[in-house]
Amino acid sequence: MPIASPDRMAASGGEDALTALTELVRADLEACNRLIVERMQSPVALIPQLAAHIVAAGGKRLRPLLTLAAARLCGYRGMRHVALAACVEFIHTATLLHDDVVDESALRRGQASANALFGNKPSVLVGDFLFARAFQLMVEDGNLEVLGILSAAAATIAEGEVLQLVTQNDTTTTEAQYLQVVEGKTAALFAAATRIGAVVADRPAAEAEALDAYGRNLGIAFQLVDDALDYAAEQERLGKTVGDDFREGKITLPVLLAFDRGDEAERGFWRRVLEERSQAETDLAAAQALLERHGALRDTVERARRYGDEALAALAAFPEGKERQALADIVAFCIDRAR
Amino acid sequence: MPIASPDRMAASGGEDALTALTELVRADLEACNRLIVERMQSPVALIPQLAAHIVAAGGKRLRPLLTLAAARLCGYRGMRHVALAACVEFIHTATLLHDDVVDESALRRGQASANALFGNKPSVLVGDFLFARAFQLMVEDGNLEVLGILSAAAATIAEGEVLQLVTQNDTTTTEAQYLQVVEGKTAALFAAATRIGAVVADRPAAEAEALDAYGRNLGIAFQLVDDALDYAAEQERLGKTVGDDFREGKITLPVLLAFDRGDEAERGFWRRVLEERSQAETDLAAAQALLERHGALRDTVERARRYGDEALAALAAFPEGKERQALADIVAFCIDRAR
């Protein structure tokens, strides 16, 4: 059986790819969703109330989908991967809750954030609860390697989030630092989510490494595209919020590219709006014009595409089939959001 | 060898008891402190900076001391308990950091809180990092029972903290709810800290249960005394802060007792200051007078003493010796802080 080339694997993409992946593991995903609802219960009623707001808010469940599909790709036939996928979603949700608190985000997934509705304190504590629940589920599963992978990922996520804080409002941030932030806050959980698919299937280390590389590169591509979308005029036309990163002074790749390619007057602009956070109403449009002039969004997406190619290359280690095709198409899905 | 009666076991107490316990496991505690400093490191420099502020702030290390002494009480001769004691301290520290964020505490252990110095966002994220580190340490130790005990404790702590929020500013809170808060936010980690001493020593379930009962009752006694101290005039004379719970409108046992024993005018006072949080400068003194009139602090400490007796009774399952005496004396230490 010939191994499809990365290009062939990525032939189809877009929203269809997410639908196809969801269909492929539908029974597993439904079991995972039931477990999520069951295990976020608590005699303290505010916990499931608040958790439901974010867990059941119609997220695409991308990370647990990756765990479910990765396990099936590895030929796993049992159902242990369902609980591990739930762990991944709980950790992701805890991160969102803590990120909402600290970023004072008003909106998440188009709904009022848990933080805005319930206050900072409950959001922090319910995040802690979900994080603890994730570890309880892993302990019930009983695989120390999975526990090691996800506890290391959790530490790396926190490191990435702290580094993001440190680099915020600092235009001397380097691309290497930016990448370290992205690898921590986003790619570490993608990598862990796919790697545990190989572990639960008891596959050799080489396959775990390949799935780790797939998830890590996909996660980086996903975040790069996210960072481009935050400035995309097309998003504005679709009625989506843009400029969150801009208002917070987050230093993302589009900004780093435009800053690097700009003249001294332009750098003065970036310093004023991002470092001093002195922003007038027209400044977002001015920033978008600078990003356009220097091709910063285009090149950010191009960079994402290269990470996507790395993700596709990692899949070549696995036999052709529906699972591999679905995971390959998800790469295109993550990148094509930027079109 | 006769089993000492609870009364005999508690013969000595006070600060000397903490010193004696610390001396008894000095080498273990020093190894634990070294491990704590080593494992809170990160390439992201803000993490050890912030963590050092709270981890190295001269806390008494009561919880890890309990783990170290409990393991030795069970005849454990290895050094695995050192890493588990560090896990317990990391979880405790993460809880403090998250509690500081949400309570807007200005002071913790007499120093400016990490929150006040570094901001809410870093405190939440460094708490997450320490929590993840605790699980990484447990995974390295490799005992699933320990992982189960501490992940369950972490979930229970979060539940207790959320319930505390729900009952805050609500004078219809029952004593049963108050006790549920205390069991969650404080006693669960004390119980886990002592229980894992029996697990690491590979002792029978009955000893793990006995140490769990010791820790749980000790933790409840500790928190009851804390809640009494927050209103104690003697503390004020010593220059310590009182009235934190009062200002936040926390519903603690002293308040519940005074509310229950008060007349309608007094209940109106409690509703105004705790529910509506409309407080004048003289209201703390007025609250202290009401607590005094109804013997609420005395009876709270008396209640703590009864939990302390339960803790002592649980120790009777273990052979007489230095470790048992030190753990018995810690009960008196926790309660005598109120004198």
CA distance A96 to A114: 9
pLDDT in tens, B285-317: 999 999 999 999 999 999 999 999 999 999 999
Burial environment of residue A278 by CB neighbours within 10 A (0 to 12, 13 to 18, 19 or more): exposed
The pLDDT confidence band at residue B14, using thresholds 50, 70 and 90, is low
> Is residue B105, in this structure, part of any structural domain at all?
yes
Q: Which tokens belong to B80?
A: 């695995």
Place of tokens 């059986």: A1
CA distance A323 to A194: 12
Q: Are the beta carbons of A68 and A29 closer than 8 angstroms?
A: yes
Q: For residue A66, what are the CA distances in angstroms to A102, B34, B178?
A: 28, 39, 42
Q: For residue B187, what are the CA distances in angstroms to A13, A23, A102, B98, B101?
A: 52, 46, 29, 18, 21
Q: Does B165 touch chain A (CB under 8 A)?
A: yes
| Residue B32, number of CB atoms within 10 A of its CB | 26
> Is residue B123, in this structure, part of any structural domain at all?
yes
Q: How many domains does chain B have?
A: 1
Q: Does B135 touch chain A (CB under 8 A)?
A: yes
The verdict on a CB contact (< 8 Å) between A131 and B154 is: yes
Q: Radius of gyration over alpha carbons of chain A, in Å? A: 20
| Partners of residue B148 in chain A, C-beta under 8 Å | 136, 139
CA distance B115 to B108: 10
Q: Are the beta carbons of B215 and B194 closer than 8 angstroms?
A: yes
Q: Does B116 touch chain A (CB under 8 A)?
A: no
Buried b (16+ CB within 10 A) or exposed e, A140-150: ebebbebbbbb
Range of the domain at B86: 6-333
For chain A (length 339 residues), average pLDDT per consecutive 10?
A: 38 75 97 96 95 79 98 98 98 92 52 71 94 98 98 98 95 97 98 98 98 98 96 81 92 98 98 96 96 98 98 97 97 86
| Partners of residue B132 in chain A, C-beta under 8 Å | 151-152, 154-155, 157-158
| Partners of residue B176 in chain A, C-beta under 8 Å | none
Predicted pLDDT of residue A4: 38
Residue B11 has pLDDT above 50, yes or no: no
A-B interface: how many C-beta pairs under 8 angstroms? Answer: 139
Q: Which tokens belong to A244?
A: 């969150």
Q: Does A11 touch chain B (CB under 8 A)?
A: no
Task: Report which of B117, B123, B118 is spatially closest to residue B96, judged by C-alpha positions.
Answer: B123
Task: Report which of B111, B86, B87, B84 is spatially closest to residue B100, judged by C-alpha positions.
Answer: B111
Chain B closest CA to A313's CA: distance in Å? 30
| Partners of residue B161 in chain A, C-beta under 8 Å | 125, 128
Task: Calculate what percentage of chain B has a pLDDT beyond 90.
Answer: 81
Question: Residue B38 maps to which CATH number?
Answer: 1.10.600.10
* Candidate from B44, B135, B148 with C-beta closest to A151: B135
Minimum Cα–Cα distance from A149: chain B residue: B136
Task: Report which of B34, B36, B51, B45 is spatially closest to residue B127, judged by C-alpha positions.
Answer: B51
For residue A112, the cross-strand partners are A107
| Partners of residue B249 in chain A, C-beta under 8 Å | none
* Candidate from A122, A148, A166 with C-beta closest to B162: A122
Q: Which tokens belong to B279?
A: 């407080």
* Candidate from A122, A124, A135 with C-beta closest to B135: A135
> Is residue B338, in this structure, part of any structural domain at all?
no
> Is residue A1, in this structure, part of any structural domain at all?
no
Q: What is the DSSP string of B273-337?
A: IIIS----TTHHHHHHHHHHHTTHHHHHHHHHHHHHHHHHHHHTTS--SHHHHHHHHHHHHHHHT
CA distance B275 to B277: 5
CA distance B18 to B266: 39
CA distance A61 to A168: 28
Chain A closest CA to B132's CA: distance in Å? 5
The verdict on a CB contact (< 8 Å) between A101 and B124 is: yes
> Is residue B176, in this structure, part of any structural domain at all?
yes
CA distance B89 to B95: 10
The verdict on a CB contact (< 8 Å) between B144 and A148 is: no
Q: What is the mean pLDDT of residues B36-60?
A: 89
Q: Which amino acid is at B130?
A: L
Q: Which tokens belong to B18?
A: 């903490």
Predicted pLDDT of residue A5: 39
Which of the residues B123, B139, B163, B164 would you substitute to probe the A interface, choosing the one with the greatest number of A C-beta atoms within 10 Å? B139
| Residue B152, number of CB atoms within 10 A of its CB | 17
Minimum Cα–Cα distance from B134: chain A residue: A151
> Is residue A98, in this structure, part of any structural domain at all?
yes
The verdict on a CB contact (< 8 Å) between A44 and B159 is: yes
ipTM over 0.90: yes
pLDDT in tens, A217-239: 999 999 999 999 999 988 777 77
The verdict on a CB contact (< 8 Å) between A136 and B152 is: yes
| Residue B72, number of CB atoms within 10 A of its CB | 21
For residue B111, the cross-strand partners are B108
Chain A closest CA to B130's CA: distance in Å? 8
Predicted pLDDT of residue A338: 67
Place of tokens 């570890």: A135
- Where helices occur in chain B by DSSP H, the ranges are 6-9, 15-24, 26-39, 46-55, 62-73, 80-103, 114-118, 120-141, 144-167, 175-182, 188-200, 205-229, 233-237, 244-248, 253-261, 264-270, 283-293, 296-315, 322-336
Residue B100 has pLDDT above 90, yes or no: no
Chain B closest CA to A262's CA: distance in Å? 29
Chain B closest CA to A127's CA: distance in Å? 9
Q: Which tokens belong to B189?
A: 């980690």
Predicted pLDDT of residue B2: 36
Q: Are the beta carbons of B273 and B283 closer than 8 angstroms?
A: yes
> Is residue B262, in this structure, part of any structural domain at all?
yes
Lowest-confidence region among A140-154, A282-296, B44-58, B167-181: B44-58
Question: Which residues are CB-contacts of B50 (< 8 A; sequence separation ≥ 6)?
Answer: B114, B118, B122, B123, B126
Q: Are the beta carbons of A221 and A308 closer than 8 angstroms?
A: yes
CA distance B63 to B190: 6
Predicted pLDDT of residue A3: 35
